[in-house]
Amino acid sequence: MSLFSNPFDSNVRLRCSCGQHASDAEHRLGVKHDNLDSAQARQSRVVEQALMRAVFPQDAMRRKFLQAVGAPTALAALSALFPLAAAKEAFAQASGKIEKPNLKVGFIPITCATPIIMADPMGFYKKQGLDVEVVKTAGWAVIRDKTLNKEYDAAHMLSPMPIAISMGIGAAATPFAVPAIENINGQAITLAMKHKDKRNPKDWKGFKFAVPFDYSMHNYLLRYYLAEAGLDPDRDVQIRVVPPPEMVANLRADNIDGFLAPDPVNQRAVFDGVGFIHLLSKELWEGHPCCAFAASQAFISSNPNTYGALLRAIVEATAYAQKPENRKEIAGVIASPNYLNQPVTVVEQVLTGTFADGLGGVKKVPDRIGFDPFPWDSFAVWILTQMQRWGQVKGDVDYQQIANKVFLATDARRLMTEAGLVAPAAKSKSFTVMGKSFDPSKPKEYLAGFAIKRD
């Protein structure tokens, strides 16, 4: 059964294998229980359950007791013995005193940052007692430096960045952590209009591409895609780092032939008639991570309650953003000049997945972008293999140790559960990238399997 099931219901078992289902049968079928609406109600449930578990260590006994006296009587009796209301209240504030209520969080104006951005105008930060100023930042290097300088308490980063920073690649080594992923999918390869007949990557020799940063999923995915087509991304094409806002301008000026970029850049290129969407990144790797919510270990350990509240706000915003019915509303809010500064229709097309492809067709891909906060360890391991593959990291790498330290799956699971989300029980999972499956326990073998790589 779910953590939020009513413990005063005799038909409910307070035991299950993964914590989400009433029975193993249900667990196997993958039934999702509709959880309680408000966070407050969910928290009340957690308290009630804890009490019932304490009073009735054996679940069978609790059920017999409830059948005998009825739920209202049981509730009244227990309330008399135990200050249930007070406990619920205490639990609601259990996060403790917030050490630093005024925070600055940096973001890059792209749709990957949706949860971080919308949490401000839609009140997710306020609900946690935080006064967060979300600050638009010019580029990834600046956001890294401002976060390292402690000007920002936390920031929107590309998911490989905290790994690189923690390892001291391209920055002074500072322990960083990813307590939550922002989005999955949501990127695309866009090509200039003049290449609309060159849809086969094998014909792309000599092309100039742009990616937002060296340590980005965009860079790794583009390289992966090109290498699968037999092109060496370092020798047969040119890949440059261009900040997202400058990509469309460069494509327009014929400085580049295409890019693998975050949205709304791809959709904006279509909107301005400059390029077309060749493919969505989900076609390369369904469910790949992209951007992350990152903070330094120092911030996390010196402000544990603030960190908890901030993460809760992000996780709840992420859950809200994941629901298709909320996407239009969110697009309207974040497209404003204060945040993304884009035409509303561009952001709406990205979030709703009903979009113009640049070639005259309207596509409907509702899961073009997804929001899922869970920082799978295996994501970090995959990123590390690609860092090695392209020579960003030399020598042996302790994959699991770095993944464990940087991607805080345990924290995310706890907070996701508290927020009433279904958090996975495992920390690691295998997945498929362009038809090739990745086993996180065998990164070395995976790396050895690539024909095109740097030594």
Partner 1 sequence: MRLHDRWRAGVLSVVILIVFLGLWQIATLPKTTAQVVDDEYAKLVGAAAATGQKSTFPTPLDVGHKLVLAISDPFYDKGANDKGIGIQMAWSMGRVCLGFGLAALVAIPLGFLIGMSRLVFNALDPFIQVLKPISPLAWMPLALFTLKDSSVSAIFVIFICSIWPMLINTAFGVASVRKEWIDVARTLEVSPWRKAIFVVLPAAAPTIMTGMRISIGIAWLVIVAAEMLVGGTGIGYFVWNEWNNLSIANILVAVFLIGLVGMVLDLIFARLQKAVTFRD
Residues near partner 1, by CB under 8 A = 109, 133-138, 141-142, 145-146, 148-151, 193, 245-246, 248-249, 252, 268, 270-274, 336-339, 341-343, 345, 349, 354-356, 358, 360-362
Residue 339 vs 407, nearer CB to partner 1: 339
Q: How far is the CB of 272 from partner 1 (least distance, A)?
A: 4
Q: How far is the CB of 107 from partner 1 (least distance, A)?
A: 9
Question: How far is 325 from 39, CA to CA, in rounded Å?
Answer: 19
Q: What backbone torsions phi and psi does residue 120 show, to the nearest 5 degrees? A: -75, -65
Q: Which residues pair with 103 in a beta bridge?
A: 132
Q: How far is the CB of 255 from partner 1 (least distance, A)?
A: 14
Residue 130 vs 221, nearer CB to partner 1: 130
Q: How far is the CB of 253 from partner 1 (least distance, A)?
A: 10
Q: How far is the CB of 98 from partner 1 (least distance, A)?
A: 20
Q: How far apart are the first and last CA of the chain?
A: 50
Residue 95 vs 354, nearer CB to partner 1: 354
Q: Tell the residue number behind the tokens 């304490």, with chain if given.
A: 54
Q: How far is the CB of 324 from partner 1 (least distance, A)?
A: 18
Residue 150 vs 444, nearer CB to partner 1: 150
Q: How far is the CB of 123 from partner 1 (least distance, A)?
A: 14
Strands 184-185 and 369-370 come out as antiparallel
Calculate the alpha carbon distances from 160 to 69, 148, 333 in Å. 56, 16, 28
Q: DSSP string of 226-258?
A: HHHTT--TTTTSEEEE--HHHHHHHHHTTS-SE
The answer for residues whose C-beta is within 8 angstroms of residue 283's C-beta and 6 or more apart is none
Q: Is 374 exposed, middle or buried (0-12, 13-18, 19+ CB in 10 A)?
A: buried
Calculate the alpha carbon distances from 241 to 139, 314, 361, 386 in Å. 11, 28, 30, 17
Residue 344 vs 447, nearer CB to partner 1: 344
Q: How far is the CB of 215 from partner 1 (least distance, A)?
A: 16
Residue 85 vs 142, nearer CB to partner 1: 142
Question: How far is 56 from 58, CA to CA, in rounded Å?
Answer: 5
Residue 291: which of 112, 105, 109, 111 has the closest Cα? 112
Residue 43 vs 342, nearer CB to partner 1: 342
Strands 291-296 and 154-158 come out as antiparallel
Residue 45 vs 278, nearer CB to partner 1: 278
Hey, what are 297's tokens? 């270990």
